[in-house]
């Protein structure tokens, strides 16, 4: 009933997870948050949630990243929210800024069209940069060079369930590459050329495609055929990347690097509004074995307007089974039926 996965061996009470221990049972992993100084208040609330439900037992370090320098207040208040070590890192400009082959005039024109189509954030250049950085740069930050697993955390998200085992250790022991909580359709207008570019890439590199891949999930057109049409063959289904627990070795692999570079050259992070969620998801779906992706059904989670809320005595503060909050059309955005099929 708790939804906890099978084969859990690593519980805090049986192992050394003291924050400063040099012999601790922690594996090579960090909580990771790209965040702005202005989001400090929301971030601290989220940190308290995750510390209360999980990290106070395991004391995994937090790494905060920002394209700007963090303020002293930011450093003090975040460190006050955890016993674990905190690291504060600035993103090198060459990781954040648009590459030189991007044409500013073309960006302006194409973003105007996207805005007219009602694509959220399409006129905000920082959002495009953020999506590109989360797609192909985060795992290249020098401060993460010796770190393997990450748990991505955004300000304002909520966690509802007590989780009593080391989830990073679970990933490692069960040979998982990627864990998600929420699985959604995307706005097809934000990525009309992502699938065509991807098809060109895999035609050039068929050797990168995994045998036991998730292609059917990526191209399923039963539930929402209009999406496939507008996205030129892609269902738009993706793991919602504001939550992810992942193995950076996948993103550092030759196949992912080649894919990211190909997409980056194609320019869709700026001329369209490709999100890092569909980019990660398409890559996982094609280049990774399907068995290496894990649904953390036991991690109660909210990022407005969606939830993952299990029916378990370990959870409080969300309604079991509830998927969305707000307008009823949001219910259509759930792509789990396709994924489980
Ligand atoms: P949404 O979830 O798509 O609405 O986008 P968010 O505004 O939540 O942004 C996603 C994540 O990137 C959050 O963790 C933000 O704090 C972070 N983020 C977005 N833009 C910037 C930026 O320009 N600078 C920094 N440092 N963080 C950003
Ligand atoms: Mn967000």
CB 178 within 8 A of CB 152: no
Establish if 214 belongs to a structural domain. yes
Averaged over 149-157, what is the pLDDT? 98
pLDDT above 70 as % of the chain: 100
Q: Which range of residues forms the domain containing residue 81?
A: 19-340
Query: In the prediction, which pLDDT does 2 show?
Result: 77
Is the interface score ipTM higher than 0.85?
A: yes
Establish if 14 belongs to a structural domain. no
The secondary structure of 150-174 as a DSSP string is EEE--TT-EE-B---B-HHHHHHHT
Helix (H, G, I), strand (E, B) or coil at 229: helix
Establish if 28 belongs to a structural domain. yes
CA distance 184 to 339: 10
CA distance 75 to 246: 25
* Residue minimizing CA distance to atom 7 of ligand 1: 127
Establish if 191 belongs to a structural domain. yes
- Residues for the chain: how many in total? 341
pLDDT band of 9, cuts 50, 70, 90: confident
Establish if 9 belongs to a structural domain. no
* Residue 66 near ligand 1, beta carbon < 6 Å: yes
Instruction: Please state, as a whole number, how many other Cβ atoms lie within 10 Å of the Cβ of residue 191.
Output: 26
> What is the CATH number for 75?
3.90.550.10
Establish if 322 belongs to a structural domain. yes
Query: In the prediction, which pLDDT does 24 show?
Result: 96
Ligand nearest to the CA of 34: 1
| Separation of CA 127 and ligand 1 centre (Å) | 7
How many domains does the chain contain in total?
1
Residue whose C-alpha is closest to residue 14's, from 156, 197, 126, 164: 164
Averaged over 191-218, what is the pLDDT? 98
Query: In the prediction, which pLDDT does 300 show?
Result: 98
pLDDT band of 1, cuts 50, 70, 90: low
* Chain mean position to CA 151: 8
Averaged over 98-125, what is the pLDDT? 96
Confirm whether pTM is higher than 0.95. Answer: yes
Closest atom of ligand 1 to CA, residue 129: 23
Q: Tell me the per-residue pLDDT of 207-248, one tens digit each, with 9 for 90 and over.
A: 999 999 999 999 999 999 999 999 999 999 999 999 999 999
Establish if 141 belongs to a structural domain. yes
């Amino acid at each position: 009933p708790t939804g906890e996965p099978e084969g859990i061996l690593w519980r805090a009470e049986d192992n050394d997870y003291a924050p400063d221990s040099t012999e601790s049972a922690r594996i090579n992993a960090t909580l990771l948050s790209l965040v702005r100084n202005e989001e400090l208040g929301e971030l601290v609330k989220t940190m308290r949630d995750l510390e209360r439900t999980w990290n106070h037992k395991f004391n995994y370090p937090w790494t905060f990243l920002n394209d700007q320098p963090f303020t002293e207040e930011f450093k003090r208040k975040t460190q006050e929210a955890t016993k674990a070590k905190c690291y504060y890192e600035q993103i090198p400009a060459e990781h954040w800024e648009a590459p030189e082959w991007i044409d500013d005039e073309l960006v302006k024109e194409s973003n105007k069209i996207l805005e007219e189509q009602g694509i959220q954030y399409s006129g905000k250049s920082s959002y495009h940069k953020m999506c590109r950085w989360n797609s192909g740069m985060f795992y290249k930050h020098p401060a993460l060079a010796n770190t393997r697993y990450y748990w991505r955390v955004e300000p304002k998200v909520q966690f509802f369930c007590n989780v009593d085992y080391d989830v990073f250790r679970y990933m490692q022991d069960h040979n998982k590459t990627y864990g998600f909580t929420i699985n959604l359709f995307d706005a097809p207008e934000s990525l009309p050329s992502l699938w065509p570019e991807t098809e060109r890439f895999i035609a050039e590199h068929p050797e990168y495609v995994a045998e036991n891949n998730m292609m059917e999930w990526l191209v399923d057109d039963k539930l929402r055929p209009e999406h496939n049409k507008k996205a030129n063959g892609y269902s738009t289904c993706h793991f919602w990347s504001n939550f992810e627990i992942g193995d950076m070795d996948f993103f550092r692999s030759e196949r992912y690097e080649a894919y990211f570079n190909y997409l980056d050259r194609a320019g869709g992070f700026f001329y369209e509004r490709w999100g890092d969620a569909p980019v990660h998801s398409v890559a996982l779906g094609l280049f990774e074995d399907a068995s290496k992706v894990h649904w953390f059904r036991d991690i109660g989670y909210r990022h407005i307007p969606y939830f993952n809320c299990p029916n378990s005595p370990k959870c409080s503060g969300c309604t079991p089974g509830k998927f969305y909050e707000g307008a009823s059309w949001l219910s259509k955005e759930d792509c789990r039926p396709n994924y489980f099929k």
